[in-house]
């Protein structure tokens, strides 16, 4: 019975160490995603996609402004 108890205690200690390592890795990854102030840090891929979307939106806004000015000139 004693060897079984020692094996069980050893298994529990190894499991606890594994969980502790996983928590440490998750915390280190979270530090890369969120600043201590709670602000989200954008990933490089996300920043690139956001920049492309911004450029498309600026192009559409410019196009709409040109159309509006043409309509105003035609109507006024």
What's the confidence (pLDDT) of residue 58? 97
What's the confidence (pLDDT) of residue 42? 75
pTM score, two decimals? Answer: 0.45
Q: Are residues 51 and 36 in the same domain?
A: no
Q: Are residues 48 and 71 in the same domain?
A: yes
The span from the CA of 66 to the CA of 64, in Å, is 5
Q: Are residues 1 and 35 in the same domain?
A: yes
What's the confidence (pLDDT) of residue 76? 65
Q: Which domain holds residue 58?
A: 43-76
Q: Are residues 28 and 7 in the same domain?
A: yes
Per the CB < 8 A criterion, the answer to whether 33 and 40 are in contact is yes
Torsional class of 36: left (φ above 0), alpha (ψ -120 to 50), beta (otherwise): alpha
Per-residue pLDDT of the chain (76 residues; tens, 9 = 90+): 889 999 999 999 999 999 999 999 988 877 777 777 878 777 777 788 889 999 999 999 999 999 999 999 988 6
């Amino acid at each position: 019975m004693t060897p079984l108890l020692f094996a069980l205690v050893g298994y529990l200690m190894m499991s606890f160490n594994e969980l502790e390592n996983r928590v440490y890795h998750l915390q280190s990854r979270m530090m890369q995603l969120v600043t201590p102030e709670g602000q989200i840090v954008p990933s490089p891929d996300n920043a690139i996609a956001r920049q492309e979307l911004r450029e498309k939106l600026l192009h559409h806004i410019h196009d709409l402004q040109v159309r509006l000015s043409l309509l105003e000139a035609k109507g006024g």
